[in-house]
């Protein structure tokens, strides 16, 4: 475990998570990084080539379930259901947006203002002012096909390994939208291993944390960026003074979209000169660690020097 877990608290005052910006190609590659979710021909027509679906044809025109509307391409949260209203125009209408999630630019027609996903550049629709529908006097007119709705309270699971699981777990516990974090072992061949078994280096397991989160409140990409900033993804089988394959950098995905997002982020980091060695593989059996390992820092009032956040994406 981390040798500097007891003592002076580590001060980490670094920049907040930021999304990517830029254009989106028909091949799904952004800035040379790994691709986002593949698009159908109709999705590509609208999201890449700035098309428009027929009025009253989209799935979300009269949809008012509580939750969050995400970009169908990259999964970024765009609009909250609390901001959705019926305008009678034939497309989903929102009088607000998730802060920083939507970018505006003049439409090629020279008359309207286009709105795009700030994270991946996908075309969403247009924004109009002064129509008087709501007190905000604002209407984001959005193609349903550009959106993916996620009900509030729906959860997703992801598993991260970045050295001693005490520090990794502590960081993820601080994130709003994370429902639970469990320290454990995965990636090996022994059933129900003990901490002593894993420390031997013979089981093949990594110390990891299973994160259950609400994607309507926090995106997977935000969590993945946090993961890459709280450990050193360039050191094989080591974090700080902790040596051994159980301390390797690895991500264990539960959804194809998670895999694509992590590969995209690895591509970005490598483009910035980081020799990333993080393993990316599907999640197999995950074995919770012994109870004394769970929320170790919270129980013992200590913090780790092995997991200080470093801004690698800003």
Residue that the structure tokens 């907040």 belong to: 16
Backbone φ and ψ of 80, nearest 5°: -90, 145
Q: Which residues pair with 238 in a beta bridge?
A: 243
Domains of the chain, residue spans: 41-151, 156-300
Q: What is the mean pLDDT of each run of 10 residues along the chain (314 residues)?
A: 37 29 37 61 96 96 93 91 96 95 94 95 97 96 96 91 96 94 96 96 96 90 96 95 96 93 95 97 96 93 82 90
According to the model, what pLDDT value does residue 38 have? 80
According to the model, what pLDDT value does residue 188 have? 96
Which of 89, 101, 111, 97 lies closest to 18, judged by CA? 101
3-state secondary structure of 229: helix
Q: In the annotation, is 306 catalytic?
A: no
Residue that the structure tokens 């700080």 belong to: 240
Could you tell me which residues come within 8 angstroms of residue 227 by beta carbon, excluding any fewer than 6 positions away? 160, 162, 168, 251
117 Rama class: left (phi>0) / alpha (psi -120 to 50) / beta = beta
According to the model, what pLDDT value does residue 154 have? 85
Report the predicted TM-score, pTM, of the whole model to 2 decimal places: 0.65
Residue range 156-300, CATH number: 3.30.1060.10
Please state, as a whole number, how many other Cβ atoms lie within 10 Å of the Cβ of residue 127.
18
Domain 41-151 CATH class label: mainly beta
Catalytic residue selected from 74, 117, 120, 141: 141
Could you tell me which residues come within 8 angstroms of residue 286 by beta carbon, excluding any fewer than 6 positions away? 159, 184, 185, 186, 208, 210, 252
Q: In the annotation, is 120 catalytic?
A: no
> Which alpha helices (H) appear in the chain, and where do they start and end?
41-47, 165-173, 195-199, 220-230, 256-271, 296-300
Backbone φ and ψ of 231, nearest 5°: -145, 165
Backbone φ and ψ of 164, nearest 5°: -50, 125
According to the model, what pLDDT value does residue 304 have? 67
Residue that the structure tokens 């919270």 belong to: 298
Backbone φ and ψ of 19, nearest 5°: -90, 170
Catalytic residue selected from 2, 117, 120, 164: 164
Measured CA to CA, the distance from residue 246 to residue 265 in angstroms comes to 23
């Amino acid at each position: 475990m981390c040798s500097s877990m007891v003592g002076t608290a580590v001060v980490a005052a670094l920049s907040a998570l930021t999304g990517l910006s830029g254009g989106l190609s028909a091949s799904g590659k952004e800035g040379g990084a790994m691709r986002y979710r593949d698009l159908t021909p109709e999705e590509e027509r609208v999201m890449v080539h700035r098309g428009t679906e027929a009025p009253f044809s989209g799935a979300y025109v009269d949809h008012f379930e509580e939750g969050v509307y995400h970009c169908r391409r990259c999964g970024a949260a765009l609009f909250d259901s609390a901001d959705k209203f019926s305008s009678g125009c034939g497309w989903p209408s929102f009088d607000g947006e998730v802060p920083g999630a939507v970018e505006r630019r003049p439409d090629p027609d020279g008359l309207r203002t286009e709105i795009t996903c700030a994270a991946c550049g996908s075309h969403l629709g247009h924004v109009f002012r002064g129509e008087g529908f709501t007190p905000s006097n604002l209407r984001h007119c959005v193609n349903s096909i550009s959106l993916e709705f996620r009900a509030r309270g729906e959860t997703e699971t992801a598993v991260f390994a970045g050295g001693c699981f005490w520090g990794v777990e502590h960081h993820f516990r601080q994130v709003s939208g994370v429902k639970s974090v469990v320290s454990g072992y995965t990636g090996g061949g022994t059933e129900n291993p003990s901490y002593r078994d894993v420390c031997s280096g013979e089981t093949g397991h990594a110390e990891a944390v299973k994160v259950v989160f609400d994607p309507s409140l926090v995106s997977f990409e935000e969590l993945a960026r946090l993961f890459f900033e709280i450990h050193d993804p360039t050191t094989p089988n080591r974090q700080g003074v902790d040596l051994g394959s159980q301390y390797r950098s690895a991500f264990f995905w539960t959804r194809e979209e998670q895999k694509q997002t992590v590969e995209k982020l690895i591509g970005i980091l490598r483009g910035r000169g980081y020799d990333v060695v993080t393993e990316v593989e599907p999640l197999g059996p995950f074995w919770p660690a012994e109870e004394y390992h769970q929320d170790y820092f919270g129980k013992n009032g200590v913090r780790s020097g092995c997991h200080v956040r470093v801004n690698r994406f800003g």
